[in-house]
Amino acid sequence: MNFIDLNAQYKALEKDIDQAIQKVLDSGKYINGDEVKKLAKELADYCGVKYCLPCANGTDALVLALKALDIKKNDAVFVPTFTFFASAETIAQVGATPIFIDIDNTFNIDTQKLEKAIKEVKKKTDLNPKAILTVDLFGQPADYIKIEKIAKKYNLKIIEDSAQGFGGEIKGRKACSFGDISTTSFFPAKPLGCYGDGGAIFTDDKELFELLSSYAVHGKGSYKYDNVRIGYNSRLDTIQAAILLVKLRAFKDFELTKRNDIAKKYTKNLKEKYTTPYVKKGFLSSWAQYTLILSDEMDREDLIKYLKEKDIPSMVYYPIPMHLQTAFGGYNFNLDDLKYSEELCKKVLSIPMSPYLTDDDQNKIIKVLLEY
Ligand SMILES: *Cc1c(COP(=O)(O)O)cnc(C)c1O
C-alpha cells in the first residue's frame, strides 16, 4: 500500500495528462508558455483572488511574499512552531526573526497565544512586529476570522502559507485568499500536486502583485533586462502548468469531495479509540494529511511497526517543532508557551490519505488500527 497513491492518480488521468504534456513538447514553449497564463487565471478564479503568480516551489513563494512585504532584519514574524521547516526557514532567510507560536487542537496557530506573544515582543524586545505567517496545516485553514482581527489590531500583515491548504474553505471563502499574500505548493504529495516542483502566490493587491512579479524575474523593471532590485529566478515550467490544468479539473470535479468522504469514514470508525482531527464548524479541510493523536498509553513506535507488518505505511508529521530545531537554536522565545506542540510531536501519526485510496485498503487500515 502507498502512503499517497500518486500512481493511481496518474492512471486515472493518464490520457489527458499525456496529451497535455505532448502539446507542450510540440509547442516548443517550455518556459512561460500559454498553459502558465491559463493556469494562473484558473487558480485565481478558483480561489477568488484577483492575481496569481505561478512560481518554482512553495518555499520560493514564501520568500517572494516576505520580500514583497519588505520584511527584513529586526522585523518579527509570528509563525506556528508545529509546521514544515520552510514556513519558518524563509523568515530567517530574509533576515527577519521568527517568533514561534503554539498550536491548538486544529493543528493551527493558537490565536490566544499569538496575541500574548505579540504583546510580549513589543514589551520585551527591540524587534518590529511586522507579520503573521499562518499555516493551513494538514488542509484546514487557520482561523482567519480571529487572525484578521488580531492583524488589524496590531497593524500586522498576514502571509497565508497554504502549501497544504489548497481547496480548503471558511464559510465559502477559499484558502489562498486569506492573507495580504497567500502561497501554495504543487509538490507532488500536496492536495494539488504537479510532477516535480511548483508553487503559486496569490494577492488582491495590484502593487504587491507587480512587486512579486519583479522579484520572481531577477528584480525586473519595465522589462527583463531592466533590473531595478535584486531578485530571484522563480518560474513554473510550462509542462508542470499543463499537468496542473488537468489535475485542477479532477480536483474540482471529484478529488476534493472524495478526500472529505475518506476523512469522514476514518473519523466515524476511529474516533472511539483515537483522537481524530478536529475541523471547526463552517471550515472545510482539503485533507493534505489525516493525522491521529495517540493516547498517552500508546507506544507510537510499536504501532508504526505493527502497521508496517500489515503493509500499512504511516508518517510522523512532525517529529520536531521549529523552536527545537538545531537551525533555530538561537531563536528561542516564550518557550513556556510551546508545550502543546512539543507534546503533539510525540503523539501524532498520519495515515494514508488520497482520493484514490480504495475502499478495500481503507477498510483494512481501519480494521488494523482498531485491532491494535
Ligand atoms: C510543502 C510545504 C512548503 C514548501 O513547499 P515546497 O514546494 O516543497 O517548497 C511550505 N510550507 C508548508 C507548510 C509545506 O507543507
Distance 367 CA to ligand 1 centre (A): 32
Which residue has the least CA distance to atom 1 on ligand 1? Answer: 163
DSSP SS3 for 117 = helix
Write out pLDDT tens, residues 185-234: 999 999 999 999 999 999 999 999 999 999 999 999 998 899 999 999 99
Give the C-alpha separation, 150 to 158, whole Å.
10
pLDDT score at 330: 65
Distance 62 CA to ligand 1 centre (A): 9
pLDDT score at 292: 98
Percent of the chain with pLDDT over 70: 99
Positive/negative CA dihedral, 332, 336, 338, 342:
positive
* Residue 286 CB–ligand 1 contact under 6 Å: no
The residue whose grid cell reads 466515524 is: 268
Percent of the chain with pLDDT over 90: 97
Mean pLDDT score across all residues of the chain: 97
Mutate to test the pocket of ligand 1, among 60, 82, 87 (most ligand atoms within 8 A of CB): 87
Write out pLDDT tens, residues 244-260: 999 999 999 999 999 99
Mean pLDDT of 267-281: 98
The residue whose grid cell reads 508518517 is: 315
pLDDT score at 332: 67
Torsion of CA 25, 31, 32, 33, to 10 degrees: -10
Residue type, 159: I
φ/ψ of residue 23, rounded to 5: -60, -40
pLDDT score at 174: 98
pLDDT score at 331: 66
Return the C-alpha cell found at 30.
517550455
Determine the atom of ligand 1 nearest the C-alpha atom of 187: 7
Residues 6+ apart with CB under 8 A from 301: none
Determine the atom of ligand 1 nearest the C-alpha atom of 186: 7
What single string gives the DSSP state of each residue in 327-369? GGGGG---GGGGHHHHHHHHHEEEE---TT--HHHHHHHHHHH
The residue whose grid cell reads 497564463 is: 37
pLDDT score at 109: 98
CB burial of residue 265 (10 Å; 0-12, 13-18, 19+): middle
Binned at pLDDT 50, 70 and 90, residue 336 comes out as: confident
pLDDT score at 335: 73
Distance 185 CA to ligand 1 centre (A): 6
Closest CA to 83 of 129, 142, 131: 142
* Residue 139 CB–ligand 1 contact under 6 Å: no
Give the C-alpha separation, 8 to 2, whole Å.
10
Determine the atom of ligand 1 nearest the C-alpha atom of 87: 11
Asked if residue 103 lies in contact with residue 340, where contact means CB atoms within 8 angstroms, the answer is yes
